[in-house]
Structure formats: structure tokens, C-alpha cells
Amino acid sequence: MGAVSKFINLDSCLLHYFEFEHPDPRGTVFLVHGLGTSASTWLHILPALIKEHRVIAVDLPGFGFSRFKPGTLFYTLSEHCGALSALVDRAARDAFTLIGHSFGGWIAARVAAAHRRSALRLVLVDTAGIYYPGAEKLRDLFTIESPASMRRLLDALWYRYLWYFKPFSSAIYHELLERNTNSIIASIGEKDSLSAEFSLLTMPVSVVWGTEDRVISPAAAEVIKRAVPHASVDFIDQCGHVPQLERPAELIRIVRSILAGDRHGLD
């Protein structure tokens, strides 16, 4: 059940993903990472998921091992959604689950809405794309113009900043510049926010949030709950914006329960 590295050839991108096959899977799970990272963000989560599921962890266009073709510098949000849709259409085989974190949750929600007949469930982890009072400040936080602004973002990501990430802040800064994340942020407008999609999310929807998220407020989870009344909401205590790295054991417990169909929402 080891990982197989694969690509699909899109018009302007070679989209990379890791596929973990299973001899008798309880369905297919797609993992969609956040802005500026890659499929590697799920490193602590994968061992638990691949025990029972076929798992596909994508590198979004321009990140990880995915590569743009000459002439393309970055993908807009809509183009990212198109890339994930192409992967789902090609690799799903049957009904599937989408799990997305932050920017990846935004993409996963839009793709789930478009694939509502085949999406078995949707799991949103500290997801972006939700409007709540204060959300307008996110553009400034995610626009990286100097090492100082990079450190400000990194400090906001964590409840307890993992010590082994701190020495890499300069490398992360240069990596984000190379990946044109500022251009992605600048290309996003008000029309891109999740709103119309909510009424199309007829599949079970589960929301997971770190209570100490200082990047995207836990208030966004309540916005989703009001818009999608059948959604379940789970909060992880003493956790910031990246539970898959900061509190992986707790996230695994919640996700395994979701995949088993045991979550019914916590009000």
C-alpha cells in the first residue's frame, strides 16, 4: 500500500498526485492542501487513512511536484478548481470524499458542489473562502512582501509554533515568492467567496476548526453551519490553523469518525 507518484497532463500544467491503493477500500479520499504547501502537509494523517481507504493526495498546480508548462506563472482559484475537477473525473472511479485544508478547502467545496451527485462527503479543515467580519484582513496577512511579513504569517498559523519550522522561515519566504502566491491572492475577488455553493452541498459536510486559529477565525465555522444546517462542526482545542501538523492525532480521530459516518454535528 505504498505511494505511487503520478501525473495528469492538463493544458498548462502537469498535475502531480500521490496515489495510495487499497485491496478492499472503504471508498476513495482526496486530500487537498492549503496555499503555499503541498501534499506533504498530510504526512501525519496518511498512515491512518490508508489503512481503510484508497487515498489520493494532490499537489495543487504550481506546488509540490506539479509543474506549469511554459507561459503559465500561476493558476487563479477557478483554474485550481478546474484542475482538481479534472483529477476527480479521471481518478475517482466511484463515490469519493474530499478533505480540504484552508485554500484547499475552498477549492474542495467548489468541486464538491459541482460533483454533488458523486461526492460522498466533504470535510473542510480551517477552510478559506468564507466571509465573516474581519475576513477582509486575510489578503494583507497572506500577501508576503518581506521576511518580516513571512514571519508574521508563520506566527499566526500556530497555537504553539513548532520549533523545527522556525529555522526555515527564510526558505519558506523565497519558496512562496517563487510559487507566485502573491499573484494568486491578488487574483481573488469578492465573487470568489463561497456562498452560492452552500445550497449545492447536499452531501454530508463536516467542518473541523482549531479553536486558536488566528489566521481564519473559528467564527467562519459558524457561518458555514448557518448556511449548511446539516453540517457537523468539531473544534480542536489548543490548536491553530494547521491541525494536521499541530494536533494530528486529534484530527485523525475526528476524520476517522467522519469517514465511518459517526458525526452528527456539534452545536
* DSSP string covering the chain: --EEEEEEE-SSEEEEEEEE--SS-S-EEEEE--TT--GGGGTTTHHHHTTTSEEEEEE-TTSTT-EEPTT-----HHHHHHHHHHHHHHH--S-EEEEEETHHHHHHHHHHHHTTTTEEEEEEES-SS---TTGGGHHHHH---SHHHHHHHHHHH-SS--GGGGGGHHHHHHHHHHTTHHHHHHH--GGGSSSGGGGG--S-EEEEEETT-SSS-THHHHHHHHHSTT-EEEEETT--S-HHHHSHHHHHHHHHHHHTT------
> Which pLDDT band holds residue 20 (cuts at 50, 70, 90)?
very high
Place of cell 473559528: 218
**Res 35: pLDDT:** 96
**Res 265: pLDDT:** 42
Asked if residue 189 belongs to a domain, the reply is yes
CATH classification at residue 220: 3.40.50.1820
**Res 203: pLDDT:** 96
**Res 267: pLDDT:** 37
Asked if residue 179 belongs to a domain, the reply is yes
Q: Is the pLDDT of residue 45 over 70?
A: yes
Asked if residue 266 belongs to a domain, the reply is no
| Strand duo 13-20 + 54-59: pairing | antiparallel
**Res 220: pLDDT:** 96
> Which pLDDT band holds residue 1 (cuts at 50, 70, 90)?
low
Number of domains making up the chain: 1
Q: Is the pLDDT of residue 263 over 90?
A: no
Q: What is the pLDDT of residues 94-149, one digit of tens each?
A: 999 999 999 999 999 999 999 999 999 999 999 999 999 888 889 999 999 998 89
- Torsion angle, CA of 163/42/23/93, rounded to 10 degrees? -170
d(CA 116, CA 244): 26
Asked if residue 192 belongs to a domain, the reply is yes
Residues contacting residue 72 through CB under 8 Å, at least 6 positions apart: 12, 13
Residues contacting residue 167 through CB under 8 Å, at least 6 positions apart: none
Tell me the HSE value of 93 on the side-chain side, using a 13 A CA sphere. Answer: 11
> Which pLDDT band holds residue 160 (cuts at 50, 70, 90)?
confident
Q: Which three cell numbers stand for residue 40?
A: 506533504
Q: Is the pLDDT of residue 228 over 90?
A: yes
Asked if residue 84 belongs to a domain, the reply is yes
Asked if residue 88 belongs to a domain, the reply is yes
Asked if residue 86 belongs to a domain, the reply is yes
Asked if residue 267 belongs to a domain, the reply is no
**Res 264: pLDDT:** 47
Q: What is the pLDDT of residues 56-67, one digit of tens each?
A: 999 999 999 999
**Res 136: pLDDT:** 87
Domain that holds residue 177: 3-259
**Res 2: pLDDT:** 81
d(CA 266, CA 91): 33
Provide the mean pLDDT of the chain: 93
Q: Is the pLDDT of residue 31 over 60?
A: yes
**Res 64: pLDDT:** 96
Q: Which residue has the higher pLDDT, 6 or 190?
A: 6
